[in-house]
């Protein structure tokens, strides 16, 4: 699994440090990498910010890889988003995670909980078409579906970043109004 996450073509297309800067991570940003995997975004964030970086990963194997790479004092590795303090993050990232979630509303509720008032959530997913890498197209989530899910759950889309033939990135701002379906707040 680790070799797939750090495939050179994947890393080139995702361009972790550049993408983090484009979504707004800066020198004082507190960041949460949800589904951190091997830490490609976690440790890119450590090159940008001196603030706390939470690497949330449910896989024991991936957490071990994260720990083996951790030479940054500001990286905090957690096995659940529930361990991240409320209102503690300026930016959160779901990189190829949304399509894997069993309970999207619960995850979005947790993301809203950890984000500060003007917090930002970036979602990177595979294009909903067959591409050279990634899951079958039927298991993917389209940009439109992602936007609808987040909008219905108290986020406003503020940016779209093209990442290449395999991935898209949508950036959302946490809104203060309650969501349409009453799931959040």
pLDDT (0 to 100) of residue 179: 45
pLDDT (0 to 100) of residue 17: 97
pLDDT (0 to 100) of residue 71: 85
What is the mean pLDDT, run by run of 10 residues, along the chain of 185 residues? Answer: 74 96 96 97 96 97 94 93 98 96 94 96 95 90 96 95 93 74 43
**How distant, in Å, are the alpha carbons of 43, 104, 106, 136 from that of 55?**
9, 19, 18, 27
Q: Which of 148, 150, 79, 142 is nearest to 112 (CA)?
A: 150
The predicted model scores a pTM of 0.91
Q: With 0-12 CB in 10 A as exposed, 13-18 as middle and 19+ as buried, what is 43? A: buried
* Sheet of 155-162, strand order: 75-78, 53-56, 31-34, 89-95, 115-126, 167-174, 155-162
State the DSSP code for 127. Answer: -
Q: How far apart are CA 79 and CA 60, in angstroms?
A: 8
Q: How far apart are CA 170 and CA 88, in angstroms?
A: 21
Residue length of the chain = 185
């Amino acid at each position: 699994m680790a070799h797939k996450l750090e495939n050179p073509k994947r890393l080139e297309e995702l361009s972790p440090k550049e993408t983090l800067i484009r979504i707004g991570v800066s020198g004082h940003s507190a960041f949460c990498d949800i589904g951190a995997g091997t830490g490609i975004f976690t440790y890119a964030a450590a090159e940008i910010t001196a603030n706390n970086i939470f690497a949330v990963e449910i896989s024991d194997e991936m957490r071990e890889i994260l720990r083996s790479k951790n030479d940054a004092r500001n990286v905090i590795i957690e096995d659940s988003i529930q361990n991240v303090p409320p209102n503690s993050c300026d930016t959160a990232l779901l990189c190829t995670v949304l399509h894997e979630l069993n309970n999207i509303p619960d995850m979005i509720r947790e993301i809203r909980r950890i984000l500060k008032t003007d917090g930002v959530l970036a979602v990177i997913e595979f294009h909903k078409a067959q591409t050279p890498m990634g899951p079958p197209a039927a298991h993917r989530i389209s940009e439109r579906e992602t936007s609808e899910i987040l909008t219905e759950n108290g986020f406003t889309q503020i940016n779209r970043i093209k990442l290449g033939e395999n991935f898209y990135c949508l950036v959302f701002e946490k809104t203060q109004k309650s969501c349409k379906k009453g799931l959040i707040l």
